[in-house]
Amino acid sequence: MKVASKNESEIKESLSPEIQNISSEQLRNKVVSAWLMALEQTSFDSLKDLGQFKGINTAEHVRGVAAIALGIVKGIKEVFPDFSVNVDTVVAGALCHDLGKPFEYDPNNESNWGKNRWATGNPALRHSVYGAHIALNAGFPLEVVHVVGSHSVEGAYLQRSLEASIVHYADKVFWEAVGRVKFGKNLFQLAGIMQKEMY
């Protein structure tokens, strides 16, 4: 495995300014170190190197999801002023929800799964599951691990927290918006082009 050449300050820059919405310095540091761990285990050097769909890189995607999620939080607070939403969990979860994508999209892993897909599955693990593994190893609280592990289709088998639901829908809305604005296609059509779920 290649060791990531990018350092923590470059990762932090690629997650800015949204990362500044996390009030806890300790949690902000965990977000950066978790992404460093995720990249170190793969061929990718930075979030910007890992494209997700037609030129949109992972840094742009997770920042976009965090921005949409913060918009949902703002709406909830306007409608239910006394209701508590953990903004730190939402933002850390949004910025880290695709932690497992460098693993799922790594060309070495993709070719390994191609060699013996009947034995390994294809992919062996989807990014939400592998991302939860990284999130646990990074020492995130279970609330953030849950957001990462349940953000995608696998979360349909769990009872998502409010924070996880916010990130799940923000992620879907990101791809719906990209599909319609940039390509005139909806999420279902994008999944057909990619031959897998977008999120």
Which residue in this structure is represented by tokens 């909806």? Answer: 186
171 contributes a contact to Fe ion by CB under 5 A? yes
Residue 18 binds to Fe ion (criterion: CB under 5 A):
no
Q: Which stretch binds Fe ion (CB under 5 A): 12-20, 71-79, 134-142, 166-174?
A: 166-174
Question: Which range in 1-9, 30-38, 77-85, 152-160 contacts Fe ion by CB under 5 A?
Answer: 152-160
Nearest to 94 by CA among 146, 35, 170, 17: 170
Is residue 199 within the footprint of Fe ion (CB under 5 A)? yes
Name which of 152 and 161 has its Cβ closer to Fe ion.
152
Buried/exposed code over 141-169 (b: 16+ C-beta within 10 A; e: otherwise) = eebbbbbbbbbbeebeeeebbebbbbbbb
What span, in angstroms and rounded, lies between the C-alpha atoms of 168 and 105? 20
Q: Report how many residues bind Fe ion under the rule CB under 5 A.
A: 4
Residue type, 121: G
Number of other CB atoms surrounding residue 1 within 10 Å: 9
Mask of contacts with Fe ion, 81-120, x by CB under 5 A? -----------------x----------------------
Region binding Fe ion by CB under 5 A among candidate stretches 29-37, 115-123, 134-142, 150-158: 150-158
Query: Which CB, 98 or 106, lies closer to Fe ion?
Result: 98
Q: Contact at 8 Å (CB) between 127 and 106?
A: no
List residues binding Fe ion (CB under 5 A): 98, 152, 171, 199
